[in-house]
C-alpha cells in the first residue's frame, strides 16, 4: 500500500472527512490500538504512564490505555481537562474498564514517573502550534529529564512540542525513543534534528480510503515493492549496447576522483558502457571504465560535435569553473542528463528540459535558489518543490533522506546510513542516476529508484563498515541493493 507524508493541515482535512463520514471514532480506536500493539511488542517490563492532552492526541492515549489494561498491562493515565467529544468519550470508555484518571500536573507527573518504565506521550499532536505554553513546557521538561536507560518514551503521532511540518526542533520539545505516527508520516519525523527527536518511527496507516490521504498528501514515501517495480528488467539477449551507454563529464586538477566515482557508480548500477570525459588525468579506478582525456573543454566540444550521443550523461562532478558553460552545451543535446556538483548554477534556470535530473545537496540548493542553507534544511520538501518549479525536469535534493521533486509531485526516499556523510557519495549517486536513465527509465523513475538503490547500498555498506564506509564501498553494494529492492528479480526475465 502506498505511504504518504502529510502536513498538519492535510491531516486535519483527512480528519474532517472522517468525521463527516462518521468514521473518526473508529480512526481514533485504530490509532490507540496501534499504539498499544506497538508497546506490547516492545514488552514493557513495568508500569506504563500515559499522558493525555486536551485534544484528539489525548483521545488516542485513552484508547491505548484501555487496550493495554484489557491485555493485562499496568497502565495509568494522567490527563488534562478536555472538551473534545471523542477524547471525552474515550475517557469514559477507559473508566468503564476500571481505569482511573488523575489530573495531570507537576506533582502527579512526578509521582507517576517514580514507578513508570514507559511514558506514552498523548499531550500534543498535529494540533500544536509553537511556542509551547509554559505549563506544558514544564511537564515536557520533566519527562525529558526522566528519560534514560530503562525509561522509554513513546510518542503518539508526533512528539509533543514538535512542529509536525518542520525539521527544526522548537524550544522545549519532547524527546521520544519511538513514535507511532498516524495515517501518514509528518515531515518532522523524517528530516533533520526533529527526526532525531522522534526516535524510531512506525506508521499506523489507519483505515481511510487511500485516495483521501493521497489527495491531501505532501509527498509519497515509496516502499521497496513500489521502487522495485520501476527498475528495468533485462532480457536474456541483453548486451552492453542495450544496457545503456553513459558518459560521465567532469574532473579538474585536484578533483579527478569525483568523475571516477560517478563512473563506478554507473557501472555498478548496470550501465553497459561507461566513458569518463575529462580535461584532467582521471584515475582508472577500475579497468572496466573507459577514460577519454581532452586537451581542453573547447577541444572536447569540437571532438564531440558530430559524434553519436550517449544514452545518458552525468556532468559536473569535480568539473571546476567551466561547469556551467559546459552544462549549457550538454543540455542543448536534449538527451537524458544528470546535472550535479559544480554544474549546479543558477544561470541554468530555463536551460533544462524534461529529461534532466538536478542533484543538489542543501548547500548547492541554496546557491541555486539564492537563499541560505538553513532555509533548505528546515523545509526540504518545500525547497525541492521550489527548485523543481524553477529548473523543471526532476530535482533530487540530497540528504538523509533525499527528496525527489518532479512535475507529478514529491517523493521521499527510505533508508540510508549516517556513514554516507562522506565525500564522493553524491558522485556515486550521479553515476547511478545516469545508468538508470541510460537503461531507459524516465527521469522521475530513475530518480526515485536511484536514490533508493543508493540508500539501500549505503545501508548494506554501513552494516559492514559503520562510519568508516566510503563511496566505493557503497558502489560495491549496488548489485546487492538492486536484488534487495527488486525482490531478487534481476536476471530472471526470460
Ligand atoms: N486522521 C488522523 O491522522 C487521526 C489523528 N488523530 C489524532 O488527532 C491528533 C490531532 O488532534 P487535535 O487536532 O485535536 O490536536 P492535538 O494535537 O491533540 O492538540 C490540540 C490541543 O493542543 C493544545 N495546544 C495547541 N497549541 C498549544 C501550545 N502552543 N501550547 C500548549 N498547548 C497547545 C490545545 O489546547 P487548548 O487550546 O484546548 O487548551 C489543543 O486542544 C493527531 O495528532 C492524532 O494524534 C486520531 O485521533 C484519529 C485519526
Ligand atoms: N545521514 C545520511 N543518511 C542517508 N544518506 C546520506 C546521509 N548523509 C549523506 N547521505 C547521502 O550521501 C550523498 C552525499 O552527497 P554529496 O553531499 O553531494 O556528496 P559529494 O559531493 O561529496 O559526492 C547524498 O546522496 C546523500 O543523500
CATH architecture of the domain formed by 226-231+238-487: 3-Layer(aba) Sandwich (3.40)
The torsion of the CA quartet 163, 168, 171, 174, rounded to 10 degrees, works out to 60
Q: List, by residue range, all CATH 3.40.1190.20 domains of the chain.
A: 226-231+238-487
Three-point CA angle 410, 164, 429, nearest 5°: 35
Segment 328-349, tens digit of pLDDT: 999 999 999 999 999 999 999 9
Please name which of 356, 363, 354, 349 lies closest in space to residue 330, comparing C-alpha atoms: 356
Burial class (CB within 10 angstroms; exposed 0-12, middle 13-18, buried 19+) of 67: buried
Please name which of 460, 459, 398, 462 lies closest in space to residue 429, comparing C-alpha atoms: 398
**CB 15 near ligand 1, within 6 Å:** yes
pLDDT given for residue 493 in this prediction: 39
Q: Give rounded-to-5 percent helix, strand, coil for the chain.
A: 45, 15, 40
Q: Whose CA is nearest to atom 39 of ligand 1?
A: 54
Provide ipTM, 2 decimals.
Answer: 0.94
pLDDT given for residue 234 in this prediction: 85
What DSSP string runs through 287-317?
A: TTSEEEE-SSHHHHHHHHSSSPP-SEEEE-T
**CB 55 near ligand 1, within 6 Å:** yes
pLDDT given for residue 490 in this prediction: 56
Q: Residue 58 Cα, ligand 1 centroid: separation in angstroms?
A: 8
Q: Residue 71 Cα, ligand 1 centroid: separation in angstroms?
A: 27
| Separation in Å, CA 260 to CA 16, 108, 278, 300, 424 | 53, 62, 10, 18, 10
pLDDT given for residue 489 in this prediction: 59
pLDDT given for residue 1 in this prediction: 76
d(CA 104, CA 106): 7
Task: Return the beta strands (E) in 53-188 as ranges.
Answer: 75-79, 101-103, 118-122, 152-156, 178-182
Residues with CB under 6 A from ligand 2: 341, 361, 398-400, 402, 416-418, 420-421, 423-427, 429, 454-455, 458
Per-residue pLDDT of the chain (494 residues; tens, 9 = 90+): 789 999 999 999 999 999 999 999 999 999 999 999 999 998 888 999 999 999 999 999 999 999 999 999 999 999 999 999 999 999 999 999 999 999 999 999 999 999 999 999 999 999 999 999 999 999 999 999 999 999 999 999 999 999 999 999 999 999 999 999 999 999 999 999 999 999 999 999 999 999 999 999 999 999 999 999 999 988 888 888 888 999 999 999 999 999 999 999 999 999 999 999 999 999 988 999 999 999 999 999 999 988 899 999 999 999 999 999 999 999 999 999 999 999 999 999 999 999 999 999 999 999 999 999 999 999 999 999 999 999 999 999 999 999 999 999 999 999 999 999 999 999 999 999 999 999 999 999 999 999 999 999 999 999 999 999 999 999 999 999 999 999 865 544 33
Report which DSSP code applies to 165: T
CA atoms within 13 A on the CB side of 305: 6
State in words which class domain 3-218 has: alpha beta
This prediction's pTM: 0.95
**CB 52 near ligand 1, within 6 Å:** no
Any idea which ligand is nearest the CA of 459? 2
**160 neighbors 128 (Cβ within 8 angstroms):** yes
Q: List, by residue range, all CATH 3.40.50.10260 domains of the chain.
A: 3-218
Q: Best mutation site among 425, 427, 447, 452 for ligand 2, i.e. most ligand atoms within 8 A of its Cβ?
A: 425
Any idea which ligand is nearest the CA of 33? 1
Which helix (H) or strand (E) is 418 found in, with range? none
Q: How many beta carbons lie within 10 A of that of residue 350, not counting itself?
A: 8
Any idea which ligand is nearest the CA of 155? 1
pLDDT given for residue 491 in this prediction: 46
Q: Whose CA is nearest to atom 27 of ligand 1?
A: 128
Amino acid at each position: 500500500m502506498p505511504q504518504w507524508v502529510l502536513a498538519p493541515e492535510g491531516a486535519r482535512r483527512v480528519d474532517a472527512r472522517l468525521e463527516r463520514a462518521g468514521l473518526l471514532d473508529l480512526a481514533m480506536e485504530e490509532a490507540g490500538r496501534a499504539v498499544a500493539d506497538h508497546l506490547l511488542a516492545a514488552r514493557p517490563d513495568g508500569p506504563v504512564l500515559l499522558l493525555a492532552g486536551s485534544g484528539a492526541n489525548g483521545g488516542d492515549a485513552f484508547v491505548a490505555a484501555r487496550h493495554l489494561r484489557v491485555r493485562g498491562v499496568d497502565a495509568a493515565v494522567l490527563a488534562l481537562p478536555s472538551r473534545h467529544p471523542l477524547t471525552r468519550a474515550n475517557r469514559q470508555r477507559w473508566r468503564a474498564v476500571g481505569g482511573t484518571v488523575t489530573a495531570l500536573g507537576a506533582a502527579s507527573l512526578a509521582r507517576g514517573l517514580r514507578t513508570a518504565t514507559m511514558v506514552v506521550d498523548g499531550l500534543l499532536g498535529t494540533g500544536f502550534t509553537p511556542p509551547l505554553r509554559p505549563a506544558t513546557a514544564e511537564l515536557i521538561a520533566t519527562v525529558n529529564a526522566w528519560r534514560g536507560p530503562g525509561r522509554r518514551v513513546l510518542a503518539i503521532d508526533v512528539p509533543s512540542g514538535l512542529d509536525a511540518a518542520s525539521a527544526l526542533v522548537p524550544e522545549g520539545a519532547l524527546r521520544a525513543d519511538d513514535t507511532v505516527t498516524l495515517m501518514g508520516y509528518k515531515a518532522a519525523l523524517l528530516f533533520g534534528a526533529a527526526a532525531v527527536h522522534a526516535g524510531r518511527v512506525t506508521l499506523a496507516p489507519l483505515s481511510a480510503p487511500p485516495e483521501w490521504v493521497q489527495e491531501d498528501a505532501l509527498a509519497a514515501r515509496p516502499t521497496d515493492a513500489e521502487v522495485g517495480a520501476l527498475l528495468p528488467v533485462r532480457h536474456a539477449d541483453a548486451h552492453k549496447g542495450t544496457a545503456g551507454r553513459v558518459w560521465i563529464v567532469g574532473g579538474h586538477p585536484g578533483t579527478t576522483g569525483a568523475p571516477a566515482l560517478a563512473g563506478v557508480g554507473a557501472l555498478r548500477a548496470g550501465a553497459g558502457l561507461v566513458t569518463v570525459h575529462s580535461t584532467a588525468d582521471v584515475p582508472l579506478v577500475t579497468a572496466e571504465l573507459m577514460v577519454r582525456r581532452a586537451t581542453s573543454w573547447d577541444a572536447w566540444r569540437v571532438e564531440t560535435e558530430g559524434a553519436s550521443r550517449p544514452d545518458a550523461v552525468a556532468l559536473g562532478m569535480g568539473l571546476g569553473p567551466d561547469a556551467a558553460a559546459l552544462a549549457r552545451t550538454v543540455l542543448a543535446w536534449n538527451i537524458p542528463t544528470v546535472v550535479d556538483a559544480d554544474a549546479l548554477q543558477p544561470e541554468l534556470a530555463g536551460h533544462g528540459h524534461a529529461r534532466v535530473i538536478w542533484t543538489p545537496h542543501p548547500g548547492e540548493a541554496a546557491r541555486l535558489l539564492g537563499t541560505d542553507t538553513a532555509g533548505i534544511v528546515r523545509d526540504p520538501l518545500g525547497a525541492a518543490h521550489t527548485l523543481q518549479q524553477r529548473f523543471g525536469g526532476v530535482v533530487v535534493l540530497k540528504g538523509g533522506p533525499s527528496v525527489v521533486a518532479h512535475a507529478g509531485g514529491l517523493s521521499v526516499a527510505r533508508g540510508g546510513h549516517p556513514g554516507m556523510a562522506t565525500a564522493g557519495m553524491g558522485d556515486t549517486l550521479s553515476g547511478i542516476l545516469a545508468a538508470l536513465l541510460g537503461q531507459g527509465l524516465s527521469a522521475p523513475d530513475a530518480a526515485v529508484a536511484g536514490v533508493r538503490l543508493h540508500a539501500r547500498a549505503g545501508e548494506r555498506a554501513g552494516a559492514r563498515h559503520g562510519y568508516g564506509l566510503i563511496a566505493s564501498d557503497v558502489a560495491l553494494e549496488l548489485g546487492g541493493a538492486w536484488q534487495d529492492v527488486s525482490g531478487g528479480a534481476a536476471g530472471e526475465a526470460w
